[in-house]
Amino acid sequence: MNIFKRKVKKTVLVCCGTGCLANNSFEIYKGLKKKIEDLAVNVKVRPVVKATGCNGLCEKGPIVTILPDDVFYCGVKVTDVDEIVENTVLNNKVIERLLYFDSAKGKKVRSHKQSEFYRKQLKIALRNIGQIDPGNIDDYIERGGYSALRKVLFKMSPKGVISEVERSGLRGRGGAGFPAGLKWRQCAEMDNFPKYVVCNGDEGDPGAFMDRSIMEGDPHSILEGILIGAYAVGSEKGFIYIRDEYSLAIKNMTKAIEKAAERGFLGQNIMGKGFSFDIEIVRGGGAFVCGESTALMASIEGRVGEPRIKYIHSTEKGLWGQPTVLNNVETWANIPVIINKGAGWFSRIGSKGSRGTKVFSLVGKVRNTGLIEVPMGITLREIIFDIGGGIIGSGKFKAVQTGGPSGGCIPESLLGLGVDFDSLNEVGAMMGSGGMIVMDENTCMVEVARYYLKFLSEESCGKCIPCREGIKRMLEILEDMCTGKGREEDIELLLEISETVKEASLCGLGKTAPNPVITTIKYFRDEYLAHIKDRRCPAGICRELTVYYIDRDVCRGCGLCRKGCPTEAISGEIGSRFTIDTSKCIKCGSCKEICRLNAVKVLGGAAE
Amino acid sequence: MKVMIDGKKYDAEYGEYILNVARRNAVNIPALCHSDALPGQGNCRMCIVEIVDKGRKSIVASCAYPITGEIEIVTNSERIYRIRKTIVRLLSASAPDNEYINRLRKEYDIPPETRFKVDRDGKCILCGLCVRACDEIGVSAISTVNRGTTKRVSTPFDEPSTVCIGCGACAYICPTGTIEVNEDEGRRVIWNKTFELLKCSECGEYFITREQYEYIKKRYDLADTNELLCDKCKKKGIGDKLTNVLHNVIPVQK
Ligand SMILES: Cc1cc2nc3c(=O)[nH]c(=O)nc-3n(C[C@H](O)[C@H](O)[C@H](O)COP(=O)(O)O)c2cc1C
Ligand code: SF4
Ligand code: SF4
Ligand code: SF4
Ligand code: FES
Ligand code: FES
């Protein structure tokens, strides 16, 4: 099988994003490099080995891609290095074992671009990631990098840039979906200098890593976007706020800034066009609320990262009271493409009110987890069942949670929903920064609401009463429900407090915090009722609301369960039926795990 | 410019807060964290009102919302009342023994709390006025510490503050009477720090701490003077300056 074109220079891309690095991909990178260098004497064209940013399939990492033929290997180990070089790089032989298994097609595919995971995606913000070495500015330039900046400086007026971004329909990707062009226009219209531009790379949603991937894998695209924005609004100074844990992102962004300055893309009189701009990285302390725009600005100014009232827009009074444009990492990364390909091109992608694509981190009970970028308007079903490959294991889909900790849970009946800013809001969820967690039937929705409220209660800054006290009391009610102490009138009380927290809180955290509660009550009220009235947790998750018992018809009396029980709650004679003394049972589940015949059941729990 | 409040037209200056316009015209809006001297905190959210601005409806904190156009304001709709009532209920669950909050609870016709675990020692509603007052005086001895439900007001590391001048402005402005000030025999204890009190040279009553006196002297660049006059005996002199400092911060209210 010779699928390789001859005499084309080969490139070996080794994913060195955080996920793959954790699985030793740097050793693989070094191994491949050394092996090829050692062999160099015998090879006509010397392949290039590059360390790239995250490919979005971390779970299947480490990932190695060989170009131009696009052979895609996953789960690569250091011990595979020799074979990859000898077979695939030098002799054009594909190693079946390392190919990607496409669960939708039920077979292995050579290039993951042929897979369902990739086929429905469209990469704009993630266009270069996995394809370039983020540490090498030439890689970026080779793929058209900084040409948008050149175009803007040489051919476009600031006003022209703003109207291009406005016409593109780009809305902020950090959560609220505010039109980027309008924000820029508001700032440009202020004649109060200095002005600032800020990049929000705080990414506080637990489990989300879209912004991190862009900062790690394609830092120059963000810089270029910021430069274009700064030129448009008349700013000479920018800040990139990155949470402190993101060490690789900080490293790669720092290097990108150095390299861009060396090439004259940053600093005084850029490209000789009289535009000057400098940028600084600020490390964030990591509180979730610091991602909120006013808290973030307070933090940059060196004050406590707490939100403040913003009836006056940041575009008028932002950092140090000066006009400021703050956009999210992904928003900035879209800008160079919009300038190069035009507002017309961009606005034809996506849905009516939400143009372009959105990056999601798809996680939970789906087969393919990872980072995806899809045109807006794509249905939840396509995301979960085509790209995600459906539910993992034998379970059934139950809900998908979008929008981070204060997003909402969407039920099966709404899987046909086209995903965009407005449609998600309409069903009570939200876009947030793009977290998407798929849940199967073994998930208790009351527990889900409790879990998020717990997170939010710890992350609320505590400044305003509705958020601080409201979340605290909602959590108290949910904890009661999960332990069998819920009361009949609690659902109404939850909704009443929700209204107050949503309407009266000071910042976006409080205003969205009730979403997990409201949506689970709206779509899964039965489960609440089961917890309150029947003292039963249908999913079998809330420990106090389940009973373990042994099914007499299945038990053969082997006695294994008795050995496994830490509290001696199980009794019986070998060969006859065993029983559980519910007063002693602590519901640890050991017996259920041990029993080979699946005779241990959970009452109130889901069917196996 | 004109604004409509509860169906009536009133004059308002550009940039003026809704609450100020309402109060000037005797329209009552409850406010827990507002002081005319320290406006625009927006922490308690009791002062929320509904506004319609260019056809768009929203709920805003009237104490911090600047009027920049001809808007319509509703201060007492059923919805607003319901939300305020919930806020009071939430507060009273956390500070059931506080007189001030109890008064509010009764005003809103809320029965004593039975659903939630009540905190017996809770009093402070974290309105932030004390911290703002101390900042305004230029001392900044207290601040909020922690976040979320564990947030509270304290001195750094809960130690007696090295900078506190014992002026008592924080305690004076506190709507819930949370901050304890104990005075006897020429001593004042506040925030776990003991201060020596000085007497008014006219009437002979204790009225000012030594630190406070020194602070004011320094701040107003006053030459050493033996004259010390309390508020009541106000004549020209340092007592008057003191009144000014404090009255900049603490409006004559209560
Ligand atoms: C509690 C809270 C947390 C937020 N966290 C983030 C974040 O981590 N990253 C982000 O870009 N925006 C975050 N936002 C949204 C920002 O406030 C802001 O709207 C956004 O960064 C603006 O950029 P955009 O218009 O490009 O989306 C958060 C908002 C709230 C209320
Ligand atoms: S809504 Fe919550 S996080 Fe936001 S200011 Fe109020 S207390 Fe702080
Ligand atoms: S007594 Fe005065 S200086 Fe001390 S904390 Fe209170 S306001 Fe600040
Ligand atoms: S101590 Fe008093 S003034 Fe200070 S925050 Fe608490 S309630 Fe407000
Ligand atoms: S880090 Fe390699 S795929 Fe994400
Ligand atoms: S008085 Fe307006 S928020 Fe407290």
Taking CA atoms, A282 is separated from A242, A246, A301, A327, in Å, by 6, 12, 10, 15
Do the Cβ atoms of B126 and B153 come closer than 8 Å? yes
On whether any CB of chain B is under 8 Å from the CB of A488, the answer is no
Give A101's contacts (C-beta < 8 A, 6+ positions apart).
A107, A108, A109
| Phi, psi of A108, rounded to the nearest 5 degrees | -80, 145
Verify whether the Cβ–Cβ distance B43 to A464 is below 8 Å: yes
Do the Cβ atoms of A389 and A145 come closer than 8 Å? no
pLDDT attached to residue A586? 87
A289-321 per-position pLDDT tens digit: 999 999 999 999 998 889 998 889 999 999 999
Report the range of poorest mean pLDDT among A8-12, A76-80, A369-373, A426-430. A8-12
Residue B242 has pLDDT above 80, yes or no: no
Q: Is A528 left (phi over 0), alpha (psi -120 to 50) or beta?
A: alpha
Task: List the residue whose alpha carbon is closest to atom 4 of ligand 2.
Answer: A507
On whether any CB of chain A is under 8 Å from the CB of B144, the answer is yes
* Distance (Å, whole) CA A496 – CA A458: 21
Do the Cβ atoms of A387 and A368 come closer than 8 Å? yes
Rounded to the nearest angstrom, the minimum Cα separation between A496 and chain B is 8
Residue A283 has pLDDT above 60, yes or no: yes
Residue A273 has pLDDT above 60, yes or no: yes
B133-182 per-position pLDDT tens digit: 999 888 999 999 888 888 999 999 888 899 999 999 999 889 888 999 99
Q: Residues of A with CB below 8 A from B115's CB?
A: 477, 487, 493
Sign of the torsion formed by the C-alpha atoms of B104, B106, B111 and B113: positive
* Distance (Å, whole) CA B208 – CA B168: 10
Q: Calculate Rg over the CA atoms of chain A.
A: 27
Our answer on whether the CB atom of A461 is closer than 6 Å to any ligand 2 atom is yes
pLDDT band with cut points at 50, 70 and 90 for residue A217: very high
pLDDT band with cut points at 50, 70 and 90 for residue B224: low
Report, as an integer, the average pLDDT of A583-600.
88
Nearest CA-CA partner of A55 in A116, A148, A120, A117? A117
Q: Residues of B with CB below 8 A from A471's CB?
A: 148-149
List, in sequence order, every residue forming a beta bridge with A360; answer none if it has no partner. A372
The amino acid occupying position B46 is M
Residue A583 has pLDDT above 90, yes or no: no
Q: From the CA of A503, how far away is ligand 1's center (Å)?
A: 19
* Percent share of chain A, pLDDT over 90: 73
Do the Cβ atoms of A423 and A417 come closer than 8 Å? yes
On whether any CB of chain B is under 8 Å from the CB of A462, the answer is yes
Do the Cβ atoms of A242 and A202 come closer than 8 Å? yes
pLDDT band with cut points at 50, 70 and 90 for residue B85: very high
> What crossing angle do the helices spanning A329-341 and A210-217 adopt, rounded to 10°?
60
User: pTM of the prediction?
Assistant: 0.89
The amino acid occupying position B135 is D
A377-386 per-position pLDDT tens digit: 999 999 999 9
Do the Cβ atoms of A13 and A50 come closer than 8 Å? yes
On whether any CB of chain B is under 8 Å from the CB of A311, the answer is yes
* Distance (Å, whole) CA B50 – CA B61: 9
A437-449 per-position pLDDT tens digit: 999 998 999 999 9
pLDDT band with cut points at 50, 70 and 90 for residue A67: confident
Chain A: residue whose CA lies nearest to B47: A504
Do the Cβ atoms of A539 and A606 come closer than 8 Å? yes
Our answer on whether the CB atom of B179 is closer than 6 Å to any ligand 3 atom is no
pLDDT attached to residue A5? 46
Rounded to the nearest angstrom, the minimum Cα separation between A505 and chain B is 7
Which of the listed ranges A337-341, A385-389, B32-36, B187-191 does the model predict with the highest average pLDDT? A337-341
Our answer on whether the CB atom of A200 is closer than 6 Å to any ligand 1 atom is yes
Report, as an integer, the average pLDDT of A421-434.
94
Rounded to the nearest angstrom, the minimum Cα separation between A471 and chain B is 9
pLDDT attached to residue A2? 47
Verify whether the Cβ–Cβ distance A505 to B45 is below 8 Å: yes
Rounded to the nearest angstrom, the minimum Cα separation between B238 and chain A is 35
The amino acid occupying position B95 is A
Report, as an integer, the average pLDDT of A579-608.
82
ipTM > 0.90? no
Our answer on whether the CB atom of A110 is closer than 6 Å to any ligand 2 atom is no
Nearest to B117 among A459, A476, A504 (CB): A476
Rounded to the nearest angstrom, the minimum Cα separation between A383 and chain B is 34
Residue A266 has pLDDT above 80, yes or no: yes
Nearest to A469 among B46, B91, B115 (CB): B91
Residue of B86, B142, B151 to mutate, testing the A interface (most A Cβ within 10 Å of its Cβ): B86
Q: From the CA of A242, how far away is ligand 5's center (Å)?
A: 20
Nearest CA-CA partner of A533 in A493, A481, A605, A494? A481
pLDDT attached to residue B232? 66
pLDDT attached to residue A166? 97
Query: By three-state DSSP, how is residue A364 classified?
Result: strand
Give A384's contacts (C-beta < 8 A, 6+ positions apart).
A362, A366, A390, A397, A400, A415, A438
Report, as an integer, the average pLDDT of A53-66.
88
Q: Choose one of B23, B36, B63, B132 to mutate for the ligand 6 pocket test, by most ligand atoms within 8 angstroms of C-beta.
A: B63
| Phi, psi of A502, rounded to the nearest 5 degrees | -65, -45
Task: List the residue whose alpha carbon is closest to atom 3 of ligand 4.
Answer: B174
A433 C-beta neighbours (distance < 10 Å), count = 27
Our answer on whether the CB atom of A408 is closer than 6 Å to any ligand 1 atom is no
Sign of the torsion formed by the C-alpha atoms of A171, A174, A176 and A182: negative
Query: By three-state DSSP, how is residue A296 classified?
Result: helix
Judged by its nearest atom, the ligand closest to the C-alpha of residue A291 is 1
Residue A143 has pLDDT above 80, yes or no: yes
On whether any CB of chain B is under 8 Å from the CB of A458, the answer is yes
Nearest CA-CA partner of A249 in A290, A207, A203? A203
Burial class of residue A368, CB neighbours in 10 A (0-12, 13-18, 19+): buried
Report the range of poorest mean pLDDT among A73-77, A472-476, B213-217. B213-217
Q: From the CA of A63, how far away is ligand 5's center (Å)?
A: 7
Measured from the CA of A55, which atom of ligand 5 is nearest?
3
Judged by its nearest atom, the ligand closest to the C-alpha of residue A405 is 1
